[in-house]
Chains A and B, each alone.
Chain A
Amino acid sequence: MNILTLLVLIPVLTMVVVLFTKDYKGARLASAIGMGIELIATVYLVLAYLAARKTGMMHEMLFTSDFMWYPSLNIHFAFGVDGIAVAMIGLTSIVIFAGIFASWELQFLTKEFFVSLILLVTAVYGFFISLDLFTMFLFYELALIPMYLLIGLWGTGPKEKSAMKLTLMLMAGSALIMVGILGLYYNSAPGGGPLTFNIIEISKISIPVAAQRFFFPFAFVGFGILGALFPFHTWSPDGHASAPTAVSMLHAGVLMKLGGYGCFRVAMFLMPQAAQEMAWIFIILTTISVVYGAFSAIWQTDLKFINAYSSVSHCGLVIFALLMMNETAMDGAILQMISHGLMTALFFALIGMIYGRTHTRDIRQMGGLMKVIPFLAVVYMIAGFASLGLPGLSGFVAEMTVFVGSFQHQDMFHRVVTVIVASSIVITAVYILKVVGVLLLGPLKDQHHADLEDAKWYEKLSTVTLVLAVAAIGIAPLWLSDTIVASLKPIVARLAMVIPF
């Protein structure tokens, strides 16, 4: 059996098993085992992929399989992965594995919770392995829907409002994507012949430029909404702040990456001319995203809001780097996706754990936690350092690559925006260090916090998994970076074919 089919099948089976469990202990155990197997399958996929590349398999996509689904519309179940997709799948498996353990103590409608969560992640796997725009879109929409119940039922604060806002904004985004996809479909055979939804096939032809100009904004903004593109990012802080821990982790860590991934895989890769022409508009928007997100994070006092705005900033950087359209910057973009995915998942996990102990997320009411919960505090510091780009951790590798890549452009415009965006590192340092200082260091602010318990085994497992991944990328980035660059070549080549205006 194809390893990719297995990646979708394991979560589906896990859901079925969870449905038949008796109590919350059974449900969480089944989920943990299922996602553990998924993680092992992912490791196998990564190794198999690297091995296949080493033996000189030069196809763009590996492990492909193709089933005809709707013959008359030429819709297929077409699967396959390149280095980028493999990296994203790796990210997903790590985050969901950590996420299950981060919600170990959840006892309200546990079965429903884990089923929804795993349904969400199934859709994410499906999205990353799809080579057919139809199935890709199907999985994309499927990923958005469990979110409503996950936030609405298990969330905190103004959860119903946030859940509704998030769902509707993202569905509006998928409306744009749908128009983009249909546009691609009907222009996929300019010289006659059967129309197709297949990404690889479309990438071999060039869509008429007029059509590109019309449909590129639809596809790009549609995916951009999920990637928190300014000014469509407003769902993100509310949604992430209200969501339960594991959902925030998965959503900020993985789901927002669907947006970035779609932006380049669908919008830019398939419509390169329009991408070149319109890049400047979106570069300006993402520059605003990066700086505005970082500044907003400074003024927040709720830990989740701080992290949510920081996500807006970091995800803005992803799309910014993609739009630079050279190999180095795009490599940085993918690295940033993974690095941010891991970091933000770690942050949200820690925030959930701290909130579970102190029952507040307001940094003004906490202080000196290093003394009482040293383990969590240290991990929080590591996450913070990764986030502000300390060398040796993943954030540094990603951001450095992005800025080196974007500075390769010679013209004034690109140079200026790069400088502005790079300045966000300083702002990031401000809010990260501020939180670390207020929250962890200094004297204990609230005496009720004096006898808090430190991390339990499942919390340690959850955080250590993520920390290891963050450190691994920081210390040995090249194997990942090389894999990504090798797969980026055809994309960059296609973008470079068109002469910039």
Chain B
Amino acid sequence: MRWGALLPVLLFAAGLLALPLLGPGFAALFPDVAEPLYRREAFGTLALAHAGLVLASLLPAAAIGIGLGIAATRPGAREVRAVADALVGFAQAVPPVAVITIAVPVLGFGAAPALLALVCYATLPVLRGTTGALATVPPEVLDAARGAGMTPRQILWQVELPLAATPILVGLRVAAVLAVATAAVGAVAGATCLGTPIIAGLVNGNPAWVLQGALLTGLMAFAVDGLLGALAPVSASPP
């Protein structure tokens, strides 16, 4: 655990606490705006809802991504890998706004369409990270494991996953940062999150609100990156 990695978390917390006190500052920055500080919901409430969205999408994305990644790397599962790649590649090729707009008539307004888009988006880096991580396990180690008489399940749990854990965590970290950024778009479908001030600002011609939402979303992305970076001390480069 590197404590330096927690700096972004402190920064995000500081942003959350300081922003409500900065009304005069935003008034000076945007003199034409009648209501310079977003007050419809507390920033803390928005941040909590945002984090909830991220967590609720990250868990299924991790389960799907790691599960598919493991399935795709089993011997004799080339087809699974091709299908998984195509499926998730397609899911990511569609922009999140499009997923949300298409999903709204089916799932209604609110968090559900946002969650769908987020799961689609976060799964790919987890899947890529998992297949890539499992591919780094040296073939002679797998040969030795089989030769020692481990069952495929024992090889997976005792050898492959422990050896691949760090790169898998890196994939999760990329997915989490991506999810924090993408979750803001959920506000389009009416999901409460840090994107809400952005959408409200855009609709009402209030750039101060847009700035406040964007600032906190960015800080939260940094915070999540730092937090997971402390667990997996490898730089999170996109797969």
Determine if chain A interacts with chain B. Answer: no
Q: Which residues of B contact A (CB under 8 A)?
A: none
